[in-house]
């Protein structure tokens, strides 16, 4: 009896590991962000619960480490960084279920930038209690959105590639100095 329980537990552990691995995202993509009339190109790297977001030609980028509950904003020009405890609203909207989601309505399927995607109208409640309607195009092939759009903004992902991201991509670079001169208001959502 004990042996069959150990075998059953081992099989369940293996299946859970395989299923969890199947849903873990390891993606690199070009990112096009539009806010009003401003368009910025950037890049996103995602590996499980770790993200790196680079926006255009600026020397600043973010590393989000869910495994360490940390958010870092790096300023390569000044060789400094700021650090904050990670909150759910700091993560990029790259999971199918969005942070603060209160309702989801399927709108069919569409092709965005050559990627087949399920289209959804999603209602989210933000950290300040404000409700927003977001349209999400989610690729089941990549388990990743190809576009997310609000009333006055959108983020599109192109040239999506699976795998091949070194873990060091999500490490805080060596030789940086912690910037403590100003409060990171941009991180608190205010």
Residue 65 sits in a domain of what CATH number? 2.50.20.10
pLDDT tens digits, residue range 57-86?
888 999 999 999 999 999 999 999 999 999
Residue 136 has pLDDT above 80, yes or no: yes
Residue 12 has pLDDT above 50, yes or no: no
In a domain, 115, yes or no: yes
In a domain, 89, yes or no: yes
The domain total for the chain is 1
Q: What is this structure's pTM?
A: 0.79
What is the pLDDT confidence band of residue 9, given thresholds at 50, 70 and 90?
very low
Parent domain of 29: 24-177
SS (H, E, C) the chain: CHHHHHHHHHHHHHHHHHHHHHHCCEEEEEEEEEECCEEEEEEEEEECCEEEEEECCCCEEEEEECCCCEEEEEECCCCEEEEEECCHHHCCCCCCCCCCEEEEEEEEEEEECCEEEEEEEEEEECCCCCEEEEEEEEECCCCEEEEEECCCEEEEEEEEEECCCCHHHHCCCCCCEECCCCCCHHHHCC
């Amino acid at each position: 009896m004990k042996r069959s329980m150990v075998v059953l537990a081992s099989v369940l552990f293996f299946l859970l590991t395989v299923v969890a691995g199947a849903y873990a995202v390891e993606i690199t993509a070009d990112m096009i962000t539009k806010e009003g009339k401003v368009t910025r190109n950037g890049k996103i790297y995602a590996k499980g619960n770790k993200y790196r977001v680079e926006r255009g030609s600026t020397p600043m980028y973010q590393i989000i480490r869910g495994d360490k509950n940390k958010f870092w904003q790096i300023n390569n020009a000044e060789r400094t960084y700021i650090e904050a405890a990670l909150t759910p609203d700091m993560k990029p909207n790259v999971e199918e279920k969005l942070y603060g989601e209160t309702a989801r309505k399927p709108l069919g399927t569409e092709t965005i930038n050559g990627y087949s995607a399920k289209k959804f109208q999603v209602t989210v409640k933000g950290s300040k209690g404000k409700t927003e309607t977001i349209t999400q195009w989610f690729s089941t092939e990549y388990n990743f959105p190809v576009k997310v759009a609000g009333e006055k903004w959108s983020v599109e992902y192109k040239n999506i590639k699976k795998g091949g991201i070194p873990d060091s991509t999500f490490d805080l670079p060596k030789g940086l100095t912690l910037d403590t001169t100003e409060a990171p208001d941009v991180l608190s959502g205010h």
